[in-house]
Amino acid sequence: GNSVTQMEGPVTLSEEAFLTINCTYTATGYPSLFWYVQYPGEGLQLLLKATKADDKGSNKGFEATYRKETTSFHLEKGSVQVSDSAVYFCALRQGAQKLVFGQGTRLTINP
Amino acid sequence: DAMVIQNPRYQVTQFGKPVTLSCSQTLNHNVMYWYQQKSSQAPKLLFHYYDKDFNNEADTPDNFQSRRPNTSFCFLDIRSPGLGDTAMYLCATYPFGQETQYFGPGTRLLVL
């Protein structure tokens, strides 16, 4: 079945550091891919998405490129801020209606 | 403007005492979901509605039930909560044929 594997956390960085959170997937066909962010005590917010190979999703300085050849959708940001501290979930859309989530990566940014 | 609203945000209940969680949406989306998210884990889909059609996940315990009286509202009923049901419960909506699910802020349930 379809699955998503994320980089093991937690990840701790200093402010203004470069961020990469790895995400790889296993799926039949060409699923849509998503990154969701969850701030402490809150629900999930869509951060960015890509619907086909080579698409780049971007939002709030975060980027991720849909790489079919490596089945990856790594999340990157050039300069992180303390306010980026959260849990990040990679996900794919399976069939018409369901999301399959990775296990989540907790990110902490220190000032 | 809130689009997916969950009430209450925090709920404490006793072991075995039924509890109902509420979700409402202003988006008029035809698909609504309930997820369970335990501490430091990914959300786990419990069930979803496509309009009035109910779709239960195979591993969702019978203790969890749902109702969707109209497009805007969906309820999660836990008939006899156990300590292991302590979790965040997330509601989400989805406009069929598009790409994105929209999540509510969640209800944090504590079973004592």
- Ordered mean pLDDT values, 10 residues apiece, chain A (111 residues): 88 96 92 93 91 94 96 97 96 81 95 94
C-beta atoms of B100 and A34 within 8 A: yes
B49: tokens are 């509605």
pLDDT at A96: 64
Distance CA B35, CA B40 (A): 14
Check residue A24 and give its pLDDT: 97
The Cα B95–Cα B98 span in angstroms is: 6
Smallest Cβ distance to B42: which of A93, A98, A103? A103
Q: How far is A97 from chain B (nearest CA, A)?
A: 7
Residue B13 pLDDT: 96
Provide the number of CB pairs (under 8 Å) joining chain A to chain B. 47
Q: Between chains, do A45 and B45 touch, taking CB under 8 Å as contact?
A: no
d(CA B50, CA A86): 31
Q: Which of B40, B90, B100 is the closest to A43 by Cβ?
A: B90
pLDDT digits (tens, 9 = 90+) for B57-91: 999 999 999 999 999 999 999 999 999 999 999 99
pLDDT tens by residue, B11-61: 999 999 999 999 999 989 999 999 999 988 889 999 999 999 999 999 999
